[in-house]
Chain A
Amino acid sequence: MAGALYSQHWHRVADLRLRLRRHASLHRHEYRGEPWYVLHDTLTGQVHRFTPEAYQIIGRLDGRRTLGEIWEQVSRTLGDAMPTQQELIGLVGRLHNANVLAGHGDIDIDELSRRQRKHQRGKWQQLIRSPLGIRIPLLDPERFVAATYPLVRPFISPLGAAIWLATVGLALVVAGMHWQGLTHNLADRVLGIDNLLLMALVYPLIKSLHELGHAWTTKDAGGEVHEIGIMLLVFFPVPYVDATAAAACPDKGKRMLVGAAGILVELFLAALAMLVWAMAEPGVLRALMFNVMLLAGVSTLLFNGNPLLRFDAYYVLADWLEIPNLGSRANQQLGYAIKRYLLGRRDVTGQAGSNREACWLVGYSVASFAYRLVLMVAIAVFVATRYLFVGVLLALWSVFMTLILPTLKLLKTMTVESRLEGSRHRAWAWLLGVLGTLGVLLFAVPVPYATVVQGVIDSGEPTHVRLGAAGELSEILVEDGESVSRGDPLMRLDAPELASEVSRLEAHRREAELRLQASVREAQDIAMERENLELVEQRLADARLRAAATLVTSPRDGRVVMPEGRPPLGQHLQRGESVAVVVRDDDLRIRAMLPAHRRDEVSQAVEDVSLRLPGHDSRIDSSVEWLSPRATHDIPSETLTQQGGGDIALDPEADEPLTAFRRHYLADFDARGLIDSDLPLSLDGRVHVRIEHPPEPIGYRWWRDIRRNFLSLFDR
C-alpha cells in the first residue's frame, strides 16, 4: 500500500480546520475484544463506527488544527498504524457525508445540492428496486413511548425474564400435552374464511405490540425512536420501527435485547394464548386464541427469527457476534476473498479482523444469498400465481433485481470498470472457467438416467378354478405355485349329502324304470312314465357331476396360484366360488403406472429394463411389452396407491374407489424372467421397475422439469 501514502488531492484539504458539530457525540464500545468508537448523531439518530486509529484523528478535529497538522501528529503517535493521506481524506469524507463536520469556511453549494439530490434519488431507487418491500413512515412515537416507558420499565429486568421464561415454559408443556388437538387438520382451520377474518383482526394488535417492544427496549438502551411505519412486504402490511439509535448503546446485551424484544413479546403473547386455548371451551374465544398463537408464535419464528433475512434475528446475531453491519460487511468480505485468493490481488483489504470473523462473514454472505434466492423464487411464484398480470410483472421485476441486475453488474465490472485492471484476464478466466465447468457438467457430461416406477404382478387372462359343488374343504392336493396339467386333482371337498342324493336318485330311477315296465298296456301312462324317467335321469346325472366335482381338478395346464392364500381346511365353500387361479407363465405381466411426462421417454428411449422385488436384491431383466395409448385415472391395483404402500395419490374427490389424482399411462413389462427365478411371487404383488434410458446430461432434465413444473403451476 506504500504508493498511496501521499494523496494527489492533499493540497485541497491540508489547510482545512475542521471540527465536529455539537450534536455529535462519541462513545467507546468493545467489539470482539477490540475497542471501537461509535459516533452518535443525536439529531438524526445515525450511528457510525470507527477504529481507535480513526478516533485519534476524529478526536483531534477541534477547529484549531489543520488536517495537515493532524496527519503529522497522528503519524508520529501511531507509528506503524499511521493512516495514509488517502485514508484520512476518506475518513473526513465519511464524516462530511454524515453531516457531523463544521468549520470549513465556505460550502460547496453545488456539492451540497448534488448530495441532497442523490439522497432523494436514493429513496426513489430503493422503492423501484424492491417494489415488494415499500416502507411508509407514519408517525413519531417518541412521546407515547416516553409516557408509557415507566409502566414497562419494571419488566425489562431479571424479574421480567423470569416471568417470561415461566410462562413460555408452561405453555410449551401444555402444547406438548395437546399436540394432537393443535396440529390436527391445521390447513383447514387456518385457511377457512371466518378464520382469515379473525386473523385480520388479531394481526395488527400483535404486530403493534411487537414494534412497541422494540421501541421500549430502545428507550431502555438510551436511544429514541422517531419513526414508526408500515412496510408493504409483498403487498402485506408489516409495521416497522426505526431503532437504529440503539446502536449507540455500548452494552452488547442491551443492543441484543432491542433486536430480540419483538420476538420475545410475541412469544409471550403466544404462550398466554396457548394457556387460554387449552382451558377454553370450543367457540369464538378458543378460535381467537388459536389464531393469536399461530400469528405470534409460528409466523414470528419463521420470519423475524431468521437471521438470514434483515429482520430482528439478523440484528441480534450481528450484536451477538459483535460484527455490526453484518450483511454488507459479509458481502464485502466475500468480494475481498474473491479478489485476494481467486484473482491474486494484493492491493485489497478485507473486512475481517480475525480468521474466525472472516469465516463468519463469508459463511453468512453465502448462506443469506442462497436463502434470499430461494425466498425470492418462492415469493415470485406466489405473487405470480395470485395476482396474475401485475403479479407476473412484479415477480419478473424482483427476479431481475435479485438475479439479473447483479449479473449485469458483474459483467460491467468485468468489462468497463477500471477496478479490475491488471487482473481482468484472471477474472474472466475464473468466470468463464466456473461457468464452463458448470456448463460442461450440466450439458455435456452424460449421467445415468432412469425412470423408476412401481408395478404389480398381473395376469393377462387368468383361468379361475371355480368349485363345481358346495362343500367343506377337506384336502388340498397341490402347493401354491405348483405347476399342474389339465385334469390334475387340486383339492377335495367333503360333501356327504351329494353321495346320498346320488343314491336317492338312483333309487328313484329304479322306481321309475319299474313303473315303466308295469304300465306296458296303457299308451298314455307309458308316455308319462318315460318323461318321469328322463327327468330323474337328468337329475341323477347332475348330482353325479356335482359329486365328482368334490375332487377339484385343474381346468388347464399351468401354475396354480392362490391369490387369497391357501384356504383353511374345513371351510365351507359355495358352489361357483373361485379358490385358485391356474395361470400360464406367458399370461403373467408386470403392470405399472407411468407419470404422464415420462411416457415419451419410455416409449422411445429405453436401453434396459430391470425388475426388483421388494426385500430382494437381485435384479431381473425385462422389457417393455405394451404402453397404453391414452392416459387414464384408473388404477389397476390397490397395491399401487399410497394407501396400499405405493406412490400413486388417490383423488379424494372421485366417486370411483380406485381413481388416481393425476393422469398416468399404463405400461406392461415382461415377467418371464421373474417367473423363471426362484423368487416367491404372488399375483398383485409389488415389483419395482427400473427403466434405464440412454445417459443424458443432467441440465436438459432439469430444464424439462422446471418447464413442466412452471407450466403446471399456471395450468389450473
Chain B
Amino acid sequence: MAVSSIPRTPVDALDRPERHIDPPTTLERLWRWVRAPLHLPDRFQRWRLRAALPAIHRHAGRLAMLDDVALNDHILSLRRRLLADGLTPRLRCETFATVREVAWRELGMAHHDVQLMGGLALLEGRIAEMPTGEGKTLTATLPAATAALTGVPVHVITVNDYLAARDAEAMQPVYRRLGLNVGAIVHEMSPDQRRTAYRADVTYCTNKELVFDYLRDGRELSHDRTPLLAHAARLKGSLDDRRLLLRGLHFAIVDEADSVMLDEARTPLILSGRDSNDPVDIALIDDVLALAGQFREDEHFVREKSQLHLTEAGRQVLAEQAERRLEARGNQSAWLGRARREWLLQQALVARHQFQRDRHYLVRDGQVQIIDEHSGRVLADRRWEQGLQQMIERLEGCEPSDPNRTLARLTYQRFFRRYQHLAGMTGTADEVRHELWRTYRLRVVAIPPHKPSQRRDWGVTTFNTPNERWDWIARRAGELSAQGRPVLIATVSLADSEALSLALGERGHDHAVLNARQDAEEAKVVAAAGRRGAITVATSMAGRGTDIALETAARDAGGLHVIIAGLHDASRVDRQIAGRCARQGDPGSVEWAVCESEPLLDELRGWQRHVGVLHQRLKRAQHEREKRHARERARLLDADWNEADQLGFSGRGE
C-alpha cells in the first residue's frame, strides 16, 4: 500500500465517509484463506521501513538547528504543503522528522529508530508488533499527527478510558505545538463534550465508546444513511445534524489491536435501552429458577464444550411440569410452547451453573455487574440479555432490573472494516496474524526492540491445591519484597486475587490489590507498584497498557518480578502480563505458579485432562480455548454477512 493511500474525503457529520464492504464471495474467501500464510518475511518489511530512516534523520538534523520561532514557521509551511500536495513520500519523511523534533522539544523524548519504523508501518495501514514497553503511545503520535496535518481526522483507539485520557493528556503538547487539537472521549462525557472531542484533529477514545457513539448516530440518522439522503433530511428538517457526533470513519490507529479487534470482537456491541413496556415477570423467573434447581447434572442436562443441553429425561420432566402449570394458570403463560419453555429453563440452568460470582460477575451496591474476561474490568453498562440478567440478580438476591431492549447491534469486525484507513499496534500479534489478515486485511510487521530485553524467566512451579499455591506465592513475594524488589502477582479471576490477598494479609505483608472491585484506585495502585519492595496483586486488569515505572532503588534491587498465578484464556494475555517487567532495558523476571485445579483444564476432555506435565496440559487447554474463541469469531463474521442477505427486507443496516 502506498503512503498516499490515506483517502482524503470530506470531513463532515452529514457526509460521513466510510468504506462500503460487500460480503466476500466464496472465491474471495478461499483466496484470502490461501493467501493468509503467504506474505513477505518480516525481515523484508523491516528493511523497507528502515530504508526511510536516513531521510528522516537528514531532515531531523536540519530541524535541530532551528530555533523555536523558525520551527513554528517550518510547521506552518509543512502543513500548507501537506494540505496542498497530500502525503508524498518526501513530505512523509519531513513530517516524521518534524514530529520527532517537536516531541523532543515538548516532552524531552525523541522517537527512536524502532518507533519511527513502527510509525511508518502504521501509516501504511499495518499492525506494528512492538515489544511491551517500547513506547507505543509515542509511536502513535507520528502517523496520527502526519494524517491530521494532511487533513484527515484520526481516531486513536485504546482499550480503556484510563488509557485514552492518559495518552491524550500526555501527548497533547506535541499536537498543540503542531497546531493540532486533541480530544479524548471518556465514559462520563455528555453528548456535547463528545461532539467537541470528535471534532478535534486527533481523538483518543475507547473502542466501546466509539462504536456506541457510531450506533447512536445511526439511530439519529435512521433511514437517511447516504450523504444525499442525509442532506435532504436536514433540509426537510427531519434530521438535526448538530446532534450527530462522528464525522465519518477516516483513519483509526488501534492500540492493543489484538485485544480490541479479536478478543472483544467475540460478542457484538449492543446498544440497548430500558424496556419499560414489558416488565419482568418475577414470579415466572422464580418458578423457573426453582425448577432448574431440581435438575441434576448428567441426569437432566449435560455440559458439552461449555454449553448446556437438556437430556431427554430433562425434557420429559419439563414437559410434565409445564403441563401442570398450564392447567393451573390457563393457556396464556410463558410455559406454553416447547421451544419457549425449554429456552427459559436453559437460561435458568445457565444462570445457576454456568456463571460464577467473582469470576464472571460481581455484586456491588446491590447490582450485578459483568466482569470482562479479558481485561478483568467491570463492564459498567453491559447487561446479559433476555432475562438472564434478571435471573442472576434474583439468585443473588438483588432487585431485578428492567429488561433491556436491543436498539442497535454491530460487530467490531464490521465496524473496523468500515474505516477508510486502518492500522494497529500491539505487543502480541504474532499468534493471530492470519486471523487479522483474514478478518481485517491487516498485515502484521514485527518491529525489533530498542534495547535487548533483560527479562529472565524463572520457570514454572506446580501445586496440587490452590491453598498451597497461595502460601507459596505469599512466601515468595515476601522474600523478594524483603530484597527490595517490587512484585506483581497476576491472578486469573477476582476471587483468586482476593484469596491471595487474604494469604498475604495473614503473613502480614503489606500489599495493594487491583481488580474489578477495586478499580477506582487504578492509577494510584499502578503508580505505587514500581516502588521498592511493593507487592501488588492484580487480575488481568494490570495487563495491557499498564506502565509500571520503577524507582531507581527498585531497579537496582533487580527490577520488577512478575508471578503469574495460572494461565489466562489466551497466551497473549500471559505475554502481556509478563511484559510488565523488564521494560525498556530494565532488569526484571517472571515466573509461573500453576495449580491442578485451574478452570482452564475444563477445556480438555477425557484422558487428556489427566495425562502429562501440568504446564503442558495447561498450554494445550489454553490453545484449545484460543481455537474455540477464534471459531466463535469466525462464526460471528459469517453470521454477519448472512444477515445482510437475510435481512434485506428490514431496509436498513446498522
Which residues of A does B touch, CB under 8 Å? 1-3, 5-6, 8-13, 16, 18, 75-76, 78-80, 82, 84, 89-90, 92-93, 95-97, 101, 104-108, 110-112, 114-115, 346, 412, 415-418, 421-422
Contact = CB atoms under 8 A, between A and B. Distances in A.
B190 interface: no
A9 B654 CA distance: 10
Scoring B268, B310, B339 by chain A CB atoms within 10 A of each residue's CB, the highest score goes to: B339
B339 A18 contact: no
A18 B651 CA distance: 12
Contacts of B20: 110
Given A101-B649, A416-B33, 14 more contacts: A2-B342, A6-B386, A8-B268, A9-B647, A11-B405, A13-B647, A79-B338, A80-B339, A89-B646, A96-B649, A104-B650, A110-B20, A412-B30, A418-B631
Scoring A3, A18, A75, A114 by chain B CB atoms within 10 A of each residue's CB, the highest score goes to: A3
A657 B634 CA distance: 75
B176 interface: no
A396 B342 CA distance: 52
A27 B338 CA distance: 29
A11 B408 contact: yes
B650 A82 contact: no
Given A82-B339, A418-B631, A418-B638, A12 B33 contact: no
Interface in B231-279: 268
A310 B648 CA distance: 32
B505 interface: no
A9 B338 contact: no
B653 interface: yes
Contacts of B331: 76
Contact of A1 (B339, B407, B643, B647): B339
Q: Closest 7 CB pairs between A and B?
A: A96-B649, A111-B648, A11-B406, A2-B342, A2-B343, A5-B343, A80-B338
A179 B30 CA distance: 59
Contact of A2 (B305, B346, B631, B654): B346
A79 B336 contact: yes
Contacts of B309: 346
Interface residues of B, number: 45
B635 A111 contact: no
Contact of B22 (A75, A84, A114, A421): A114
A93 B343 contact: no
A104 B635 contact: no
Contact of B651 (A8, A84, A93, A108): A108
B648 A93 contact: yes
Contacts of A95: 649
Contacts of A93: 645-649
Contacts of A84: 339
Nearest to B649: A96
B305 A422 contact: yes
17 contacts: A1-B339, A2-B346, A6-B385, A11-B406, A12-B650, A80-B337, A82-B338, A82-B339, A93-B646, A97-B648, A105-B223, A106-B651, A108-B650, A108-B651, A111-B648, A346-B309, A415-B33
A412 B29 CA distance: 10
A346 to B, nearest CB: 8
A9 B340 contact: no
B630 to A, nearest CB: 10
Nearest to A415: B33
Contact of B337 (A6, A79, A97, A412): A79
Interface of B: 20, 22, 26, 29-30, 33, 223, 268, 305, 309-310, 331-332, 336-340, 342-343, 346, 385-386, 405-409, 631, 634-635, 638-639, 643-654
Contacts of A101: 649
A666 B20 CA distance: 76
Contact of A5 (B339, B409, B634, B654): B339
A11 to B, nearest CB: 4
A16 B650 contact: yes
A108 B653 contact: yes
Given A418-B634, A421-B635, A75 B652 contact: no
B307 to A, nearest CB: 8
Given A82-B339, A418-B634, A11 B407 contact: yes
Contacts of B342: 2
Contacts of B407: 11
A84 B331 CA distance: 19
A417 B409 CA distance: 24
Contact of A3 (B22, B268, B343, B634): B343
B17 to A, nearest CB: 16
Contacts of A82: 337-340
Nearest to B347: A2
B409 A76 contact: no
Contacts of B634: 418
A75 B344 CA distance: 15
Contacts of A412: 26, 30
Contact of B310 (A2, A6, A9, A106): A2
Contacts of B338: 79-80, 82
A104 B335 CA distance: 33
Scoring A75, A79, A112, A418 by chain B CB atoms within 10 A of each residue's CB, the highest score goes to: A418
A421 B268 CA distance: 20
Given A115-B648, A418-B631, A75 B408 contact: no
A10 B406 contact: yes
A587 B261 CA distance: 91
A293 B275 CA distance: 76
B340 A75 contact: yes
Nearest to A112: B648
Contacts of B305: 422
B304 to A, nearest CB: 9
A347 B2 CA distance: 47
A78 B649 contact: no
Contacts of A92: 649
A26 to B, nearest CB: 19
Nearest to A15: B650
Given A3-B343, A5-B340, A79-B337, A12 B631 contact: no
A96 B30 contact: no
Contacts of B653: 108
B418 to A, nearest CB: 14
A76 B332 contact: yes
A108 B343 contact: no
B337 A90 contact: no
Contacts of B406: 8, 10-11
B517 to A, nearest CB: 31
Nearest to A18: B649
A17 to B, nearest CB: 12
Contacts of B639: 8
B409 A8 contact: yes
A106 B20 CA distance: 20
A509 to B, nearest CB: 112
B635 A418 contact: yes
A96 B339 contact: no
Scoring B223, B338, B650, B652 by chain A CB atoms within 10 A of each residue's CB, the highest score goes to: B650
Contacts of B22: 114
A221 B96 CA distance: 78
A106 B385 CA distance: 29
A206 to B, nearest CB: 42
Nearest to B22: A114
A107 B339 CA distance: 33
A415 B30 CA distance: 10
Contacts of A16: 649-651
Contacts of B405: 11
A70 to B, nearest CB: 14
Contact of B647 (A12, A78, A112, A416): A12
A96 B645 CA distance: 10
Contacts of A115: 648
Contacts of B346: 2-3
Nearest to A411: B30
